[in-house]
Amino acid sequence: MPSTSVRFPTVKVYDHPLIQHKLTILRDRRTGHEQFRVLLNQIAGLMAYEVSRNLPVRTLAVETPVARTTGTELASPTTIVPILRAGLAMMDGLLALFPEARVGHIGIYRDEKTAKPVTYYAKLPPDIADGPAIVVDPMLATGGSAAHAVDILKERGVRDIRMMCLVAAPEGVEALVRAHPELPIHVAAIDERLNERFYIVPGLGDAGDRIFGTQ
């Protein structure tokens, strides 16, 4: 079970030793993009178990080879929404555990001068409001992109939204909590701070560049 942040009650921190072990390797500047992607997806899969813990379910009658019994099934369609581009790299880990999920996409970039989010793409299922949505992004820096993505989902009528990321800055968490105080936020670590370039410290560098080998 993840622990609840003392400072931010809606934030769950995944301090599991296996997750922290993999996160430490991700932080290492010597870790190449191939291994980085593998580890990122492994952590995403480990976190998905708890992120999806209280998804709504309904009873289902099933006939086993021996007898009739009652089980459960997910009551509504769940949509995973990666924030482009880095969020895409967590999808294999999530879909390996959760193949029935739909996938929407939101493209947001951060203006380097203002640090404000700018939307350039949004493709979501037309009935996304019928079930939960899990927003995925490895880094929660200023919180602007995440808050903006949640705004878009709320405008589409989504009522059950969860945020899942790898590393967060306190400033980003605070901004996201301020914008959406009811939002459950799942992180592997809350780091020290943002630097003057809005990078998380100690962080792990630019996640997109490290994932796709473009740095």
CATH number at residue 152: 3.40.50.2020
Contact (CB, 8 A) for 102 and 125: yes
Residues 6+ away with beta carbon under 8 Å from 205: 29, 199, 215
Distance from C-alpha of 76 to C-alpha of 67, rounded to nearest angstrom: 27
HSE-CB at 141 with a 13 A cutoff on CA atoms is: 23
Tell me what pLDDT residue 114 has. Answer: 72
Tell me what pLDDT residue 120 has. Answer: 92
For residue 137, the one-letter residue type is: D
Distance from C-alpha of 177 to C-alpha of 24, rounded to nearest angstrom: 26
Tell me what pLDDT residue 78 has. Answer: 94
Structural domain harbouring 14 = 3-212
Tell me what pLDDT residue 98 has. Answer: 86
Catalytic entry in 92, 151, 160, 209: 209
Has 110 been annotated as catalytic?
Answer: yes
Put simply, whether the predicted model's pTM sits higher than 0.85 gets the answer: yes
Has 114 been annotated as catalytic?
Answer: yes
Tell me what pLDDT residue 159 has. Answer: 95
Catalytic entry in 110, 151, 156, 160: 110
Catalytic entry in 30, 53, 70, 114: 114
Distance from C-alpha of 66 to C-alpha of 82, rounded to nearest angstrom: 42
Tell me what pLDDT residue 86 has. Answer: 84
Segments in the chain below pLDDT 50: none
User: What is the Cα 31 distance to its own chain's centre?
Assistant: 22
Has 111 been annotated as catalytic?
Answer: no
Rg (C-alpha) for the chain, rounded Å, is: 18
Tell me what pLDDT residue 215 has. Answer: 66
Q: How many separate domains does the chain show?
A: 1
